[in-house]
Structures are given as C-alpha cells and as structure tokens.
Amino acid sequence: MTYAAVPGAVMYTTQLYHALRQENLLSREWGDLQLLWNMQGNSTYFVGEPPKDFEGHWKNYLMSTGASLSNWAFAKRNTKVKVTNATRRKMFLKGPASLWIASRIQTNGDGRLLTVQTISDAITADEQVRSHHDAADAPSGLRQDSVIHKLAATIEVEIEDITFDYFAMHDICWELLGKMRDECRLYIAERSATLWESQKEHLPFIVGFVFSTAAGRKNIETKDVPNQELLKTVTDVTNAFLEEGKGIVITGRQRKI
C-alpha cells in the first residue's frame, strides 16, 4: 500500500478518471481502478462529496495533494513545488483482522494468548476501517454468536482488500501519467517554465494542470476562459490506454485464476 500511495499516481489518476467519466469523455470503464476506488471509498480521494465541475475538481486536487496554493501563482512558476504531508490525502491499509491473525500464526510471530476479547478487538478494527472509508458492509455471517465464526467471516470479507495488486496499480497509473506528460509536454512547459522540467518525477502534477486549465485558471488568483486543450489531450491518451486493455490488467488476471 505504501508503494501505491506515496507518489500519488493512483490517488490523482483516480480523481482525473472521475472527472473524465463525469463528463462522459471515456469510451469504457477502468475496471481495476474502479475496484480499488470501491474498496478505498470516496473519502480517500475527495474532501467531502465528489466534485461536480472542474472548479470543484481543481479545489479538491489542491486540498488533497498537499501542495501549497502559491505553487500555481504566476510569480512562483519557477520555484520548487512545496508539499506538506499535513494536509495530503492518503490511501489506507486495509485488512486489519487478516494482518493481525497472520502475525499470530506465522513462525516466531506474536505468541500472546488468543482470547475472546482480543479476537473481538480485531473484528472491531475491521468494522471501523470499513465504516470510515465507505467500504461495503460485511456479510450477515459477521453477526453470528461464535467469535471464531465472526473472525472467519471478517477475514473472508478482507480477501479482496489484501490480495489486490497495489504494485501493479501504481505502475499502470504511472505509465499512463508518463504518456500524458509526453503528449502535453510542450503545452505545459510553455506556461510553467522550469517548474515542469526541473521536477520530472512529479508526474501526478499533470492532473493539477489539467484541472486548473479546464477550470479557467491562469494562476491561483486569476480566472480566465476555460481552456480544453489539455483536457482533450489527456482524454485521448486515456481512451487509447483503456482500449489497449490496460484497464483490466488486475481484474482480468483474477478471472483466469
């Protein structure tokens, strides 16, 4: 999960995917990303309700990325991007009950006595994670009287969470953002001067450029006529990417098992 979460590729690609889908610009659904989105819940990607226009997408992006608003001010386009982890949105580690029981059964693992209370605590931890992140409700088996049955049902619910290939999801999103960068490079470099070229590793910032121009932002303070050039470019790139089958790499693999 750390691998998928830290660079922001999955986080901001999901925000962009939501915007493109909301505008009916995509030719097909991105199955893998949608599955992870469903597991993580809206609160992972959005501050409040999911945005309904590009001004909302732009503001949500700014709040969730942790980047200072001043980074998009015209006078500071040549300065280093400042990011604060204090306000940055994060993806969440799922499957607490499974991780807890794994530590108990592995060789040289946690050897403390299993009691009804400790098992109940593990089940409660799972319920709290699911409630907080808008995930699906657990099956009715979780309400059985036997605490062992409850634990087994809880672990069954977590299977999808702990077996999802987060590494592949990050790599797929990073690949897409790289393709977007290549197609948008000249347009962005023209307007951001050395900011873009000096920090090539910050691929997720391309999502910010798309949202800001589509919302009609010359910079953070100045509104202008919305520019659809970047939006059209990333839409074309995303549709071509999904047409290649890149949207069902993980779920397609699971169907074959």
Tell me the per-residue pLDDT of 69-89, one tens digit each, with 9 for 90 and over. Answer: 555 554 455 555 566 665 567
Asked if residue 50 has pLDDT above 70, the reply is yes
The residue with greater pLDDT, 161 or 224, is 161
pLDDT mean over 44-61: 92
Give CA–CA dist 1/175, Å, rounded.
Answer: 18
* More confident: 235 or 94: 235
Instruction: Quote the pLDDT of residue 11.
Output: 94
140 has pLDDT over 50 = no
Average confidence score pLDDT of the chain: 79
Whether the pLDDT of residue 170 is over 50: the answer is yes
pLDDT, residue 94, reads 77
Residue 222: pLDDT above 70? no
* Residues 167, 86: Cα–Cα separation, whole Å: 25
What are the pLDDT digits (tens) for 173-218?
999 999 998 898 877 766 554 555 555 567 888 898 899 899 988 6
| Rounded average pLDDT over 129-149 | 54
Exposed, middle or buried by CB within 10 Å (0-12, 13-18, 19+), for 243?
Answer: exposed
CA distance 67 to 199: 14
- Does the pTM surpass 0.75? The reply is yes
Greater model confidence, 106 or 58:
58
Query: In the chain, what are the domain boundaries?
Result: 2-90+165-256, 96-161
Which tokens sit at 81?
């991007």
136: Cβ–Cβ under 8 A, 6 or more apart, which residues? 38, 130
Q: Which helix (H) or strand (E) holds 12?
A: helix 9-22
Greater confidence (112 vs 117) lies with: 117
Residue position matching structure tokens 């089940």: 123
129 pLDDT band (50/70/90 cuts)?
A: low
Residue 138 predicted with pLDDT over 50: no
Residue scoring higher pLDDT (166 or 103): 166
Percent pLDDT > 90 in the chain is 36
Query: In the structure encoding, which two tokens stand for residue 160, read together?
Result: 């999808």
Enumerate residues 6+ apart whose C-beta is below 8 A from 130: 136, 137, 138, 157
Q: Is the pLDDT confidence value at 168 over 70?
A: yes
